[in-house]
Amino acid sequence: MAVLRTLLYLLVYPGILFLFFYSTFCEWFDRKVYARLQNRMGPTHTGRHGLLQPIADFVKLMAKEDIVPEAADKRLFALLPVFGLAIVSTAGLLLPVWNFDLATPGMTSFPGDIIVILYLLSLPTLILFLAAWSSTNLFSTIGGSRVLTMLFGYEVPLFLSVLSPAILADSWRLAEIAAFYQKKPLLILPNLLGFVIAVISVQAKLERTPFDIPHAETEIVGGTFTEYSGKKLGLFRLMMDIELVVASALLATVFLGGFPGGVFVGFAHLLVKTLFVIFLLALIRALTSRIRIDQVLTLAWKYLAPLAVLQLLVVILLKGFLK
C-alpha cells in the first residue's frame, strides 16, 4: 500500500503526469489570456480551443534537431535541462495537495517544507545561469550574468513576503499554514501586501515581462537559451511551465488558504486558485514593457524589499495583538 501510495505521489498526483498535463494547460491558459488582452485569438487550432497546442509544441521540439555548440561543456550542457526539470518536479511534490487532515499528514509534508520548496524554486535560476555559461555564446553569457543579477533583486523580497504568513500562522509547514488560514480566513487580508510583492517577485523568477531581461529577444537574441534547441529547449520550456505551476500553487497555499475539502473539492481549489494567480501573472505580462536590469534592482531594493519588511512588521505586531 505504501509503495502504491508513493508511486501515486511520484507519478500521478502531484507527480510528473499531473505536473506535465497541468503545466501545459496553464501555459495554454496564460497564452490565451495574454492573447485576449492583446486583442488576438491565441492558440486555436490544435485540440478544442487550441488546448493541445503546448503539448504539440513540446512534441515538436522533442522531434527537432538537437545542436550542441563545439565550444560548449557538452556533458553539463546536456544534463542541465534534465536537472532543472527534476528540481522543479521535486518542488511540486512538496505541495500539500493530499493533506486534508493534519493528524495524518502526507508523506512529503514535514516542518520546514516551506524552506525546502523555496530552496528548490531558487535552484532553476542557477541552472539557467550554468546553462548560459556552459553554452559559451556571447549572448548567452550576457543573459547568464543578467539571470544572476536579477536573482539578487527578487529573491529577498520573495522570501520575506512568503515567510510573513508563515510567521502569522506560527508554522514552517505548508499544510499547517494552509489549515491556519482555512480556519481564520479573515487573516488572509493582512497579508495582501505580501501577496502583491510575492506575485511581482514570482513574475521576476519566471522571467516573464517586465522581467524577461535574461532572454530579451530584441537585445540579446535568445539570451540564456540562445544555443539550446530541440529536446533540451523542450525540457527547459517544460521546466519553466512546471515552475509556473509550482510557484503559483505555493502562493495559493501560503496566501489563499491552500486546497481544503477532500480529493475533488481540493483539486477544484487547486485549479481555481492557481489559475487566479496565473491570471494575475498574465495581466502583469500584458500590461507592462520590459524594464532594464538596473531598474529591476532599483525596484526590488527600493520598493519591494522595504515593503516586504513592512509586511513582516505588520504581521509581528498583529501576532502580538492577537495573543
Residue from 16, 62, 271, 286 touching other proteins (CB under 8 A): that is: 286
Q: Is 139 in the site for other proteins (CB under 8 A)?
A: yes
Residue from 2, 70, 186, 218 touching other proteins (CB under 8 A): that is: 218
Evaluate the CA torsion angle 10, 11, 14, 20 in order and state its sign. positive
Q: Is 51 in the site for other proteins (CB under 8 A)?
A: no
Amino acid identity of residue 300, one-letter, is: A
Least separation in angstroms between CB 36 and other proteins:
11
Question: Exposure pattern of 119-132 as b/e (b: 16+ CB <10 Å)?
Answer: ebbbbbbbbbbbbb
Query: How many whole angstroms separate alpha carbon 128 and alpha carbon 109?
Result: 28
Q: Give the DSSP per-residue string, 46-106.
A: SSGGGTTHHHHHHHHHHHS-----TTS-HHHHHHHHHHHHHHHHHHHHTS-SS-S-TTS--
Q: Is 196 in the site for other proteins (CB under 8 A)?
A: no
Q: Is 69 in the site for other proteins (CB under 8 A)?
A: no
9 or 301: CB nearest other proteins = 301
User: How far is C-alpha 156 from the chain's CA centre?
Assistant: 16
Least separation in angstroms between CB 219 and other proteins:
5
Query: How many whole angstroms separate alpha carbon 247 and alpha carbon 219?
Result: 27
Q: Is 165 in the site for other proteins (CB under 8 A)?
A: no
Q: Is 216 in the site for other proteins (CB under 8 A)?
A: yes
Q: Is 101 in the site for other proteins (CB under 8 A)?
A: no
Q: In this chain, which stretch among 124-132, 217-225, 242-250, 301-309 interacts with other proteins, using CB under 8 A?
A: 217-225
Q: Give the DSSP per-residue string, 22-47.
A: HHHHHHHHHHHHHHHHTT---S-SSS
CB-CB neighbours of 25 under 10 Å = 18
Query: How many whole angstroms separate alpha carbon 235 and alpha carbon 59?
Result: 10
Q: Is 86 in the site for other proteins (CB under 8 A)?
A: no
Contacts (Cβ under 8 Å, ≥6 apart) of 181: 165, 169, 187, 188, 256, 257, 258
208 or 269: CB nearest other proteins = 208
Q: In this chain, which stretch among 64-72, 96-104, 165-173, 281-289 interacts with other proteins, using CB under 8 A?
A: 281-289
Cis bond leading into 14, ω under 30°? yes
Residue from 13, 219, 310, 314 touching other proteins (CB under 8 A): that is: 219
Residue from 16, 37, 86, 115 touching other proteins (CB under 8 A): that is: 37
Least separation in angstroms between CB 15 and other proteins:
34
Q: In this chain, which stretch among 47-55, 63-71, 154-162, 292-300 interacts with other proteins, using CB under 8 A?
A: 292-300
User: How far is C-alpha 299 from the chain's CA centre?
Assistant: 20
Residue from 86, 190, 193, 290 touching other proteins (CB under 8 A): that is: 290
Q: In this chain, which stretch among 20-28, 274-282, 293-301, 311-319 interacts with other proteins, using CB under 8 A?
A: 293-301
Q: Tell me which residues touch other proteins (CB under 8 A).
A: 37-40, 138-139, 142, 209-210, 212-213, 216-221, 286-295
